[in-house]
C-alpha cells in the first residue's frame, strides 16, 4: 500500500496512526487552505475515522472533515518521533 | 468559535444587521457604552485566514482591509491557539494590533492547554484577555480594558506589527515586489510587505469577481489570473491580470523559484513559514504544539529566521529538538462519532433525527398556530365591524390586509421551531457531521456536503437557505445549490397540500401524499443538479473542508438568538411583500365592483354552504360568487391565462390561485377562498372550503394531485426570487432557474395527468 520512502496519500493512511505531512498536491487554492489550517510539512496528522470516501482527520490539535479528493492530495509518511 | 457569544455579551444583544456596502453579506452592528464613550461593535463573519474563498470570507476581509477601528478584537479558541494565531499573524502583517480574547479558557486550563498569558502578551506584544465561555460570559476584563483605550487612537497602522522571515528565496522576491509596488505608488495605507504578499499569493480567480465577472460561470483559475473582486477600500495590487507586466513576472518568478528550489508553491511556503513562527512562539511560552517539522534543514532555517526577526523584542529559544508528540487521545466526541458517523448506524441516527425535527416542527407548532389563527380572525372581524361605516376601508383592512398578512404569521411557529431545532443541532456540533456523512451521497448528485445545511434549512424556508450558501466556495457549487433549494418543499407549501388532500383524498392517505411531495421535490432537485453539472456548471463539486467541533450541550439562549436571526426574514416578508401583495390581491379581487345583487347572493351562498345544504344552494350560489370574482381584474386575468393551463386540468379559478401564490405559496389557499366564495380568512383545514373545492372547483383527485405537483415545483415565492437574484448577482441566472422550475413543473403535472388517465382515473 505504501510506496517508496513510506510516502502515501492520507486517503490510504492507517486509522488512528500518526503520520507527518510531506507534500500537498492539487489546486493552488486548495493547497493554500490546507496549509493555512495546519497541513504543513512535518505536521502530525491522524485519520480518526473514515466516513464514506471522506474522513475525520485530526491535525494541529483539532478535527476536520475532508472528502476523498483532499485526502488524496495530502501526501504523508509514518510519523517518526525522535 | 464563540465570537457571537462575545459580541452578544458585549452589546447586550443590541444588534442590528446592516448590509455592508459592496458586499451582500450581512454584518452585525451593536453598541455598548464604557464611561463617556459609546462604542460601535461590528461582528464580521468568522474566518481562519485572510485568503477569502467564500462570499462571507470576502466580506470579513473587505471590512478588515477598509476600516481603521480603534480596537480590533480577535476571539481565539484557547485550545486551538496554534490554528487561530495564524489569523493573528496575518492581522499583524496588515498593521493591526489585535486584542486577543482567549475564549474557553476554563476548558483549556482543565486540560492543561492554557498558555502563560503574560508570556504570550510579551512575545506577541498584544493584549490577551482570558474569558470563560461556559454559561454567561463575563467580559468585565475586556470592558475594563476598553474603558482605558484612547478613542482617537487606531488599532491599525501602516506598518507591519510582525516580521516573518519567509526564507531567502521568497524574501528576495518579496523585496522586489515591495520595491515595484512602491514605484507604482498607491500602497500607502497597507504595509508594503503585506501588499507584496498579497501580490504573490492572492491572484487567482476561482470565484468570479464582483467587479465584472460576478454571476458569470467558469472564470479562469490559471496562475496569474486576477481575482478582480474590486474590493472596497485601499486594496492594493491584487488586480494582477495575466500578462500585466511586472506583477505577472513577479508571480511567475515566485512560483518557478519556489517550485524548483523548495518543491512547493509560494502559497504553501508562506503558510508553512507562518506556522513555523507560531510554533516558535508557542514553544517560547512553554506550549506543546503536537507536531514538529521533520525536514530540519528547511525548518531550522525557518525558525531561526523567525527568531532573528524578533517579535516585540522577545528572545525565543530555538527549542526545536525537544519536541513532544501529542499522544493519540480519543476524546468523547471521537467515541460518539463512531456511532454518529457510522456507515449504517449513522444514517439511522440521521433519518430518525430529521424525522424528529419535522415532527417537532409540526406538532409543537400546531397549538400556537391555532392561537394565532384565532387572533387573526378575531382582529379581522373586529375591524370589519368597527369600520362598517366605511365599507371600502373595512374591506381593505378586514378582508385584504389582516387575513393576507395573518396567513403568513400563522406559519411563524413552524418556522421558528424549525430554526430553533436547527440552531440547537448546529450548536451541538451535529450539523457539521451531517455534512460529512452526506458528502458522498450528495457528491453523486452533483453537489457536496457543503450543500447539506442549506438543504435542511430549505425545508423550513427557502430564503435563509439561500443565504446559508454564502459559506460555500466556488460559484458553480453555489449556483447549483441555489437552483435546487426552492425545490425542497418549504413549510409554506404545506397548507396547499392540506387543503387539496382534505378535499380529494381519504384522510388515511394524507401522510403518504405529503411525504411523496417532499420526496418528489428532492428527486427533481437531484435531477436538476445533475443536469446543471453536466451542462453549464461542469466539473466536480468543490472540496469539503469543515471543522468538526467537539460535541457539546447546545445553549438554549444562543439558539434562540440564532433562531431569531434566521426567522426574522420571515417576519420581514410578512411586513413587506405579503402586506403589499395582500393589498394588490384585494384590489384585483374587489374591482371592478360587482353588481350588488350578485354580492348579496354570494353571501347567501356562504350561509348555504356552511349549513351543508350543498344539494340546494351550491350550484347556483357558487356559480354566482364565481361570477362576481370572474368580472374582477383577477378573474379576467385568470380567464385569459386559463387556456395555457387547460392541458393540466386547471380552470380559471385555479389559475387565479396560482397567480396569487407566486407572491407566497400560502396565498394559494386564501386566494382560492376568495374565488370559491367562502371568504378570504380561511385556513387549509376549513371544512367549508374543502367541501366547496371538492364539489365545484372542477378539479378531480387526479388534477388535484397534478396541482400539488405544480405548486411544489413551478416557481419559488417572490421573496426567494429576490434573494436568489441578490445572491447570484445575475438576472439571467435567476430567470434561467425560474424557467427550469416552471418547465419541469408543467411537464411533471402534465405527465401525472396523462399517466393517471391511462390508468383510468
Say how far apart CA B579 and CA B590 lie, in whole Å: 16
pLDDT of residue A19: 93
- Rounded to an integer, the average pLDDT of B557-582 is 77
Check: CB of residue B28 under 8 Å from CB of residue B17. Answer: yes
Q: Which of B250, B196, B197 is closest to B223 using CA atoms? A: B250
Taking CA atoms, what residue in B is nearest to A43?
A: B291
Write the Ramachandran bin of B3: left for phi over 0, alpha for psi from -120 to 50, otherwise beta: alpha
Say how far apart CA B330 and CA B337 lie, in whole Å: 11
Cβ–Cβ of A36/B271 closer than 8 Å?
yes
Say how far apart CA B463 and CA B472 lie, in whole Å: 16
Question: Taking CB atoms and an 8 Å cutoff, what residues of chain B touch A70?
Answer: 543-545
Q: Is the pLDDT of residue B100 over 90?
A: yes
Q: Grid coordinates representing B642?
A: 386559463
Assess A34–B contact: CB distance below 8 Å, yes or no.
Answer: yes
Q: How many Å lie between the alpha carbon of B82 and the closest alpha carbon of chain A?
A: 7
Taking CA atoms, what residue in A is nearest to B223?
A: A28
Q: Is the pLDDT of residue B688 over 70?
A: yes
Question: Per residue in B48-64, pLDDT tens?
Answer: 888 887 888 888 888 88
Question: Does the residue A3 lie in any domain?
Answer: no
pLDDT of residue B136: 58
Taking CA atoms, what residue in A is nearest to B78?
A: A61
Higher pLDDT, B468 or B223: B468
Please measure the distance between the N-terminal and C-terminal CA atoms of chain A and give it in whole angstroms.
Answer: 25
Q: How far is CA B431 from the centre of its chain?
A: 14
Looking at the partner chain, which of B80, B294, B341 has a beta carbon nearest the beta carbon of A42? B294
Question: Does the residue A2 lie in any domain?
Answer: no
Check: CB of residue B448 under 8 Å from CB of residue B682. Answer: no
Q: Is the pLDDT of residue B238 over 70?
A: no
Question: Does the residue A46 lie in any domain?
Answer: yes
Which range has the worst mean pLDDT, A35-39, B28-32, B407-411, B732-736? B407-411
Looking at the partner chain, which of A40, A61, A70 has a beta carbon nearest the beta carbon of B275? A40
Q: How far is CA B201 from the centre of its chain?
A: 28
Starting at the edge strand found earlier in the chain, the sheet holding B73-77 runs B73-77, B99-103, B128-130
Taking CA atoms, what residue in B is nearest to A62?
A: B80
Question: Per residue in B241-278, pLDDT tens?
Answer: 444 677 777 788 888 888 888 888 888 999 999 999 99
Cβ–Cβ of B440/A40 closer than 8 Å?
no
Starting at the edge strand found earlier in the chain, the sheet holding A18-24 runs A8-9, A74-78, A18-24, A44-51, A54-59, A62-66, B545-547
Q: Is the pLDDT of residue B17 over 80?
A: no
- Rounded to an integer, the average pLDDT of B386-395 is 88
Question: Does the residue A12 lie in any domain?
Answer: yes
Taking CA atoms, what residue in B is nearest to A79?
A: B294
Q: How many Å lie between the alpha carbon of B591 and the closest alpha carbon of chain A?
A: 59
Check: CB of residue B463 under 8 Å from CB of residue B570. Answer: yes
How far CA B503 is from CA of B203, B453, B498, B675, in Å, comes to 60, 35, 9, 16
Q: Grid coordinates representing B665?
A: 405559496
DSSP bridge partners of B40: B31
Question: Does the residue A1 lie in any domain?
Answer: no
How far CA B155 is from CA of B98, B152, B583, in Å, comes to 7, 10, 51
- Count of domains observed in chain A: 1
Which range has the worst mean pLDDT, A39-43, B286-290, B437-441, B740-744? B286-290
Question: Does the residue A69 lie in any domain?
Answer: yes
Question: Does the residue A18 lie in any domain?
Answer: yes
Residue from B87, B208, B271 whose CB has the most chain A CBs within 10 Å, to mutate:
B271
Contacts of B40 (CB under 8 A, 6+ apart): B29, B30, B31
Question: Does the residue A58 lie in any domain?
Answer: yes
In this structure, the strands spanning A62-66 and B26-34 are unpaired
Cβ–Cβ of A42/B295 closer than 8 Å?
yes
Q: Which of B278, B59, B161 is closest to B270 using CA atoms? A: B278
Cβ–Cβ of B333/A63 closer than 8 Å?
yes
Looking at the partner chain, which of A28, A48, A62 has a beta carbon nearest the beta carbon of B223? A28
Check: CB of residue B470 under 8 Å from CB of residue B479. Answer: no
Q: Grid coordinates representing B110?
A: 482543565
Q: How many Å lie between the alpha carbon of A11 and the closest alpha carbon of chain B?
A: 14
Cβ–Cβ of A54/B263 closer than 8 Å?
no
Which range has the worst mean pLDDT, A13-27, B22-36, B630-644? B22-36
Higher pLDDT, B233 or B661: B661
Looking at the partner chain, which of B80, B337, B540 has a beta carbon nearest the beta carbon of A56? B337
Residue B732 has, within 13 A of its CA and on its CB side, a CA count of 4
Higher pLDDT, B152 or B334: B334
Question: Per residue in B478-502, pLDDT tens?
Answer: 999 999 999 998 877 887 888 888 8
Q: Which of B699, B753, B752, B713 is closest to B499 using CA atoms? A: B699
pLDDT of residue B523: 95
How far CA B171 is from CA of B40, B163, B254, B485, B704, in Å, comes to 39, 11, 10, 47, 71
Which range has the worst mean pLDDT, B174-178, B196-200, B218-222, B289-293? B218-222
Please measure the distance between the N-terminal and C-terminal CA atoms of chain B and give it in whole angstroms.
Answer: 57
Q: How many CB pairs under 8 A join A and B?
A: 163
Question: Per residue in B605-660, pLDDT tens?
Answer: 343 333 333 333 333 344 445 566 778 888 888 889 989 999 998 888 888 888 87
Report percent pLDDT > 90 for chain B: 21
Q: Is the pLDDT of residue B685 over 80?
A: no
- Complex prediction ipTM: 0.93
Say how far apart CA A63 and CA A61 lie, in whole Å: 7
What are the b/e assignments for B354-382, b being 16+ CB within 10 Å?
eeebbeebbeebeeebeebbeebbebbee
User: Residue A64 belongs to a domain with what CATH number?
Assistant: 2.30.30.90
Q: In the structure, what pLDDT confidence band is assigned to residue B316 with cuts at 50, 70 and 90?
A: very low
Taking only Cα atoms into account, the Rg of chain B, rounded to an integer number of angstroms, comes to: 30
Q: Which domain holds residue A63?
A: 8-78
Report percent pLDDT > 70 for chain B: 78
Taking only Cα atoms into account, the Rg of chain A, rounded to an integer number of angstroms, comes to: 11
Question: Taking CB atoms and an 8 Å cutoff, what residues of chain A touch B82?
Answer: 38, 60-61
Which range has the worst mean pLDDT, A61-65, B72-76, B668-672? B668-672
pLDDT of residue B293: 41
DSSP B54: B
In this structure, the strands spanning A18-24 and A44-51 are antiparallel
Amino acid at each position: 500500500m505504501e510506496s517508496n520512502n513510506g510516502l502515501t496519500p492520507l486517503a490510504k493512511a492507517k486509522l488512528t496512526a500518526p503520520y507527518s505531512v510531506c507534500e500537498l498536491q492539487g489546486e493552488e487554492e486548495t493547497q493554500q487552505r490546507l496549509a493555512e489550517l495546519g497541513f504543513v510539512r512535518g505536521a502530525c496528522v491522524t485519520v480518526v475515522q473514515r466516513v464514506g470516501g471522506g474522513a475525520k482527520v485530526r491535525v494541529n490539535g483539532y478535527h476536520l472533515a475532508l472528502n476523498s479528493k483532499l485526502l488524496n492530495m495530502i501526501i504523508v509518511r509514518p510519523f517518526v518521533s525522535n | 468559535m464563540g465570537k457571537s457569544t462575545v459580541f452578544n455579551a458585549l452589546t447586550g444583544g443590541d444588534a442590528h444587521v446592516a448590509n455592508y456596502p459592496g458586499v451582500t453579506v450581512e454584518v452585525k452592528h451593536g453598541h455598548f457604552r464604557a464611561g463617556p464613550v459609546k462604542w460601535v461593535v461590528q461582528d464580521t463573519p468568522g474566518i481562519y485566514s485572510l485568503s477569502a474563498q467564500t462570499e462571507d470570507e470576502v466580506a470579513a476581509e473587505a471590512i478588515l482591509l477598509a476600516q481603521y477601528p480603534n480596537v480590533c478584537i480577535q476571539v481565539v479558541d484557547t485550545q486551538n491557539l496554534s490554528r487561530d494565531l495564524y489569523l493573528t499573524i496575518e492581522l499583524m502583517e496588515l498593521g493591526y494590533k489585535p486584542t486577543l480574547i482567549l475564549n474557553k479558557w476554563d476548558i483549556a486550563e482543565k486540560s492543561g492547554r492554557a498558555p502563560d498569558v503574560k508570556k504570550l502578551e510579551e512575545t506577541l506584544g498584544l493584549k490577551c484577555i482570558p474569558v470563560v465561555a461556559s454559561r454567561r460570559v463575563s467580559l468585565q476584563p475586556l470592558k475594563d480594558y476598553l474603558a482605558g483605550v484612547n478613542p482617537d487612537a487606531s488599532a491599525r497602522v501602516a506598518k507591519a506589527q510582525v516580521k516573518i522571515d519567509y526564507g531567502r528565496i521568497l524574501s528576495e522576491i518579496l523585496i522586489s515586489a515591495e520595491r515595484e509596488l512602491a514605484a507604482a505608488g498607491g500602497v500607502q495605507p497597507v504595509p508594503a510587505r503585506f501588499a507584496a504578499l498579497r501580490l504573490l499569493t492572492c491572484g487567482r480567480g476561482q470565484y468570479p469577481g464582483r467587479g465584472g465577472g460576478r454571476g458569470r460561470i467558469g472564470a479562469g483559475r490559471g496562475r496569474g489570473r486576477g481575482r478582480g473582486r474590486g474590493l472596497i477600500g485601499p486594496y492594493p495590487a491584487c488586480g494582477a491580470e495575466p500578462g500585466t507586466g511586472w506583477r505577472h513576472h513577479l508571480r511567475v518568478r515566485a512560483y518557478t523559484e519556489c517550485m524548483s528550489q523548495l518543491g512547493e508553491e509560494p502559497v504553501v511556503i508562506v503558510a508553512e513559514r507562518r506556522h513555523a513562527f507560531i510554533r516558535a512562539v508557542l514553544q517560547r511560552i512553554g506550549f506543546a504544539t503536537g507536531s514538529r517539522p521533520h525536514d530540519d534543514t528547511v525548518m531550522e532555517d525557518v525558525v531561526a529566521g523567525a527568531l532573528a526577526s524578533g517579535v516585540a523584542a522577545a528572545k525565543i529559544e530555538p527549542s526545536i529538538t525537544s519536541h513532544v508528540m501529542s499522544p493519540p487521545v480519543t476524546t468523547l466526541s471521537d467515541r460518539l462519532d463512531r456511532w454518529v458517523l457510522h456507515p449504517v448506524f449513522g444514517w439511522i441516527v440521521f433519518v430518525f433525527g430529521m424525522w424528529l425535527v419535522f415532527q417537532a416542527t409540526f406538532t409543537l407548532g400546531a397549538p400556537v398556530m391555532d392561537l394565532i389563527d384565532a387572533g387573526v380572525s378575531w382582529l379581522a372581524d373586529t375591524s370589519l365591524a368597527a369600520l362598517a361605516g366605511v365599507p371600502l376601508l373595512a374591506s381593505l383592512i378586514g378582508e385584504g390586509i389582516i387575513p393576507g398578512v395573518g396567513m403568513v404569521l400563522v406559519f411563524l411557529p413552524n418556522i421558528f421551531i424549525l430554526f430553533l431545532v436547527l440552531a440547537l443541532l448546529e450548536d451541538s456540533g451535529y450539523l457539521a457531521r451531517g455534512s460529512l456523512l452526506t458528502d458522498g451521497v450528495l457528491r453523486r448528485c452533483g453537489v457536496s456536503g457543503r450543500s447539506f445545511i442549506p438543504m435542511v434549512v430549505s425545508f423550513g424556508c427557502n430564503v435563509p437557505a439561500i443565504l446559508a450558501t454564502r459559506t460555500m466556495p466556488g460559484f458553480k457549487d453555489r449556483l447549483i445549490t441555489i437552483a435546487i433549494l426552492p425545490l425542497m418543499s418549504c413549510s409554506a407549501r404545506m397548507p396547499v397540500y392540506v387543503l387539496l388532500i382534505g378535499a380529494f383524498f381519504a384522510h388515511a392517505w394524507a401522510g403518504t401524499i405529503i411525504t411523496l411531495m417532499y420526496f418528489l421535490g428532492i428527486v427533481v432537485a437531484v435531477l436538476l443538479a445533475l443536469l446543471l453539472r453536466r451542462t453549464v456548471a461542469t466539473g466536480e463539486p468543490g472540496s469539503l473542508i469543515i471543522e468538526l467541533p467537539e460535541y457539546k450541550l447546545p445553549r438554549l439562549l444562543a439558539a434562540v438568538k440564532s433562531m431569531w436571526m434566521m426567522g426574522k426574514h420571515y417576519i420581514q416578508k410578512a411586513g413587506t411583500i405579503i402586506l403589499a401583495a395582500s393589498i394588490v390581491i384585494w384590489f384585483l379581487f374587489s374591482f371592478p365592483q360587482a353588481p350588488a345583487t350578485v354580492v348579496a347572493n354570494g353571501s347567501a351562498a356562504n350561509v348555504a354552504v356552511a349549513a351543508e345544504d350543498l344539494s340546494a344552494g351550491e350550484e347556483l350560489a357558487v356559480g354566482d360568487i364565481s361570477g362576481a370574482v370572474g368580472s374582477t381584474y383577477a378573474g379576467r386575468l385568470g380567464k385569459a391565462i386559463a387556456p395555457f393551463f387547460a392541458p393540466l386540468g386547471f380552470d380559471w379559478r385555479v389559475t387565479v390561485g396560482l397567480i396569487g401564490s407566486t407572491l407566497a405559496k400560502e396565498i394559494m389557499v386564501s386566494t382560492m377562498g376568495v374565488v370559491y366564495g367562502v371568504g378570504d380568512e380561511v385556513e387549509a383545514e376549513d371544512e367549508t372550503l374543502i367541501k366547496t373545492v371538492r364539489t365545484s372547483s372542477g378539479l378531480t383527485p387526479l388534477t388535484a394531485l397534478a396541482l400539488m405537483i405544480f405548486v411544489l415545483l413551478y416557481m419559488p415565492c417572490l421573496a426567494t426570487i429576490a434573494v436568489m437574484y441578490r445572491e447570484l448577482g445575475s438576472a439571467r441566472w435567476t430567470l434561467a432557474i425560474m424557467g427550469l422550475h416552471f418547465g419541469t413543473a408543467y411537464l411533471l403535472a402534465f405527465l401525472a395527468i396523462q399517466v393517471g388517465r391511462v390508468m383510468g382515473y
